[in-house]
Amino acid sequence: MAALAAIIYNRIHIFATEADFSAVVNTASIISLNLIACLIISIAYYFFTRFAKGSKIILFHILLAVLSFAAVVVPISISLPLTVKNPELFPGLAVPMIFFPALAWFTFKPLFKFDE
C-alpha cells in the first residue's frame, strides 16, 4: 500500500508541478524502496517483540517515527544530475514519500493483531 500511495503521489506531483523526476525516481525504484522499507520495518518489529514484551512496543513505534523524520535528510542532501530541470522541486516529491512506509505500518498493523 505504501508503494501504491507513493506512485499516486508521484503522478499528482508531476501533474501539479510539471516537473518529471523519472530519471531519478522511477516507478520501479518507488516500488522496490517501499517494499524494502516495509520489509525492514516488519523484520525489526518481529525481533523487537521477541525482546521487548508488553507495553514496551510503544518504543518501537516511537523509534519508527523518529527514524522516519531523520530519513528526511536523505532526499534533501541528494545532488541531482545537471540535466534534471527544476531540481529545487525534488524535495517536495521525495520528502513526503519517506513517510509512506511508516504510515502504512501504523495504518495496517492494527488489522493484523496477533498475540505478542
Give Cβ neighbours of residue 99 (< 8 Å, ≥ 6 apart): 68
| Residue 115, pLDDT score | 55
Cβ burial of 9 (10 Å; 0-12, 13-18, 19+) is middle
| Residue 23, pLDDT score | 83
| Residue 57, pLDDT score | 82
| Residue 80, pLDDT score | 81
Give Cβ neighbours of residue 64 (< 8 Å, ≥ 6 apart): 41, 102, 105, 106
In tens digits, the chain (116 residues) has pLDDT values of 899 999 999 999 989 988 888 888 889 999 999 999 999 999 999 888 888 776 778 888 999 999 999 999 988 888 887 787 888 888 888 899 999 999 999 998 888 776 55
pTM of the model: 0.83
Q: Rounded distance, CA 115 to CA 105, Å?
A: 17
* Cα–Cα nearest to 20, from 100, 93, 95: 93
